[in-house]
Structure formats: structure tokens, C-alpha cells
Chains A and B, each alone.
Chain A
Amino acid sequence: MSVRKQLVLMATVVFGALGNVSLSHGMKQIGAISAARWTEAVSALLNPWVALGVLLLLAFFAAYLSSLSWADLSYVLPATSLGYVLLALLAQWWLHENVTPRRWVGILLISCGVAVVSRAPALTRKSRPEAAQAEVEVTVNS
């Protein structure tokens, strides 16, 4: 895999984690939203941390879209799951959430999953679904 592609995957990881931590920080400032007044979730966008979180998640989204244009979904998701490890670290240092030993075990398992998938090819060879579908349509039309 090219360096550029690896950078795109890395951007997915970093922007995703930072965006989620920022969102969480903002939502904690706002406080619990009751089920009966769920529309308050929309006005949460006015909080600066929530807004920053949204911007970071947009950057995440651009990187994610790019990666999905040249890799399988079942590759991209495990390959970018290091974001959960980063999120746990950021949550501990910044949000002061408690990262227990059990959570560190979870982090280790995720890292193993990433290692396993990152050594396999990123894209299903031959018959891409759209190509297969187009063939079917052509057959039907002719």
C-alpha cells in the first residue's frame, strides 16, 4: 500500500478520535438530554466544542470516503480501528474518564485485529459488485 494511502487511513484514525473527544466534551457541558426533549440534540450544535467536533468529523469523513474509493469496507473498518485506542487515551488525559485495566485488554485486542487485517489485500479482486451488477443489467437488456 502506498504512503499516501496509509496517510489517508491515519487521517481517518486521528480526526475521528479527536472529533469524538471534542463532541463528548461539549455534550458533557450541555448535560443530559431527556428522551422527551430529544430535539435539544439539534441545538447542541451551537456549543463550540460540539461545533469543533463536527468540523473534525467532517475531515474524518473526507478521509474515510477517500479510503472507501480504493479499499473494501470490510478492510477499512478494522484497519482504522486504532482510533478506539487513541480515543481511550484522549478520554483519559483530557476528559478524565477512567481507563481501567480491563479497557487496556480491549485496546490490546483491537490492536491485534488491526495487525491481522493490515497484512491482507485491501480490495476484493475482479468482479466488483457494480461491475457484476452492470453485467447483469447488460444481459437483461440484450
Chain B
Amino acid sequence: MNTVHTWTAIAAVVITSTAGDVLISRAMKQVGHVGEVLRRRGLRGLLGMVLTNKTFLLALACMTLSFFSFLVALSWADASLVVPASASLAFVTTAVAAKLFLHETVDRRRWLAALLVCAGVAILAI
């Protein structure tokens, strides 16, 4: 399968997975510390809270799309190419999205970490 096909699938994985990660992070912050929720409400209570959270369901939709794009990409290229390549770009896009949409403090250390991992993952991919 040619490289254009592979990289189109990878781009689809990056966009949907970034949206999914941001939404899921927001959903879990709404749910609260999993350990504490487990202690107070039990497993059933926790599952109920997570599975009825609208942000979580939206995130799940994004991740489902991401997963099937990923399966298609895997059938065209090596896992050690597809996984790092899609993730490499996703490290930078999620760092930006976390700052913009989740108002996380992305300090110099986290930018450096995101860039190092992105570079490392890109080198894995090329």
C-alpha cells in the first residue's frame, strides 16, 4: 500500500485521537479522582458516573473513529511505524489542545517533554 494512503490514515488517527484525549481528560476531571469515587460509590457507582457522562460518550465516539482508522493504517504499514507516527504528531497537538481547551499549565518542562517525545517518535517513524 502506498505512503499517501498510510499518511492519510495516520492524519485521521491524529485528529480524532487528539479530540478524544481532550474530551476524555475533561470527562474524568468531572468524574473526580477514581480512587475516591470507588471508595464512596463502589464500582457500579463509578461506572454509572463515567458511562452517563456526555463528554465521555463524545470522547468514546472520537476514539472509536480513531481506532478503526488505526486498524486500517496497521493493515497497510508496520506497527512500529504507524503507532509512533500517529502518536508523534498527537503529542504536540494534545499539548496545545490541553493548554487551549483544558487550561492546563503547560510549562517549559512539559513543552520540552512533548517535543522530545514527538522528535523521538518521529525518528522512530521515518
* Contact A109 B119, beta carbon cutoff 8 Å: yes
* Contact B109 A72, beta carbon cutoff 8 Å: no
Closest 6 CB pairs of A and B: A109-B120, A113-B116, A24-B79, A106-B123, A117-B113, A106-B124
Given A112-B116, A127-B103, A129-B103, A65 and B28 contact (CB-CB distance below 8 Å): yes
* Contact B120 A78, beta carbon cutoff 8 Å: no
Chain A residues, Cβ within 8 Å of B22:
73
Which residue on A lies nearest to B114, using beta carbons?
A78
Interface of A is mostly: helix
- Find A119's partner among B98, B101, B109, B116 (CB 8 Å cutoff): B109
Size category of the binding interface on chain A: 35 or more
Given A27-B74, A31-B75, A113 and B120 contact (CB-CB distance below 8 Å): yes
Given A69-B34, A124-B104, A129-B102, A110 and B120 contact (CB-CB distance below 8 Å): yes
Chain A residues, Cβ within 8 Å of B34:
65-66, 69-70
With an 8 A cutoff between CB atoms, is A105 at the interface? yes
Chain B residues, Cβ within 8 Å of A125:
105
Cα A130 to Cα B31 in complex, Å, equals 11
Cα A14 to Cα B35 in complex, Å, equals 21
Interface residues of B in 47-97 (CB under 8 A from A): 50, 68, 71-72, 74-76, 78-80, 83-84, 87, 90-91, 94-95
Residues on A close to B: CB < 8 A?
4, 20-21, 23-24, 27-28, 30-33, 35, 38, 41-42, 44, 50, 64-66, 68-70, 72-78, 81, 84, 87-88, 91, 95, 97, 99, 102-103, 105-114, 116-117, 119-120, 124-125, 127-130, 132
With an 8 A cutoff between CB atoms, is B110 at the interface? yes
Cα A103 to Cα B30 in complex, Å, equals 39
Supplied contacts A33-B72, A72-B102, 15 more A-B pairs, CB within 8 Å: A27-B74, A30-B75, A35-B5, A65-B28, A70-B33, A77-B21, A77-B114, A87-B79, A107-B120, A110-B121, A111-B120, A112-B116, A124-B104, A128-B29, A129-B101
Cα A87 to Cα B124 in complex, Å, equals 11
Chain B residues, Cβ within 8 Å of A107:
120, 124
Interface residues of B in 19-42 (CB under 8 A from A): 21-22, 24-26, 28-35, 37
- Interface centre among A41, A113, A129, by most B CB within 10 Å? A113
Chain A residues, Cβ within 8 Å of B30:
130
With an 8 A cutoff between CB atoms, is B122 at the interface? yes
Chain A residues, Cβ within 8 Å of B24:
64-65, 68
Which residue on B lies nearest to A44, using beta carbons?
B71
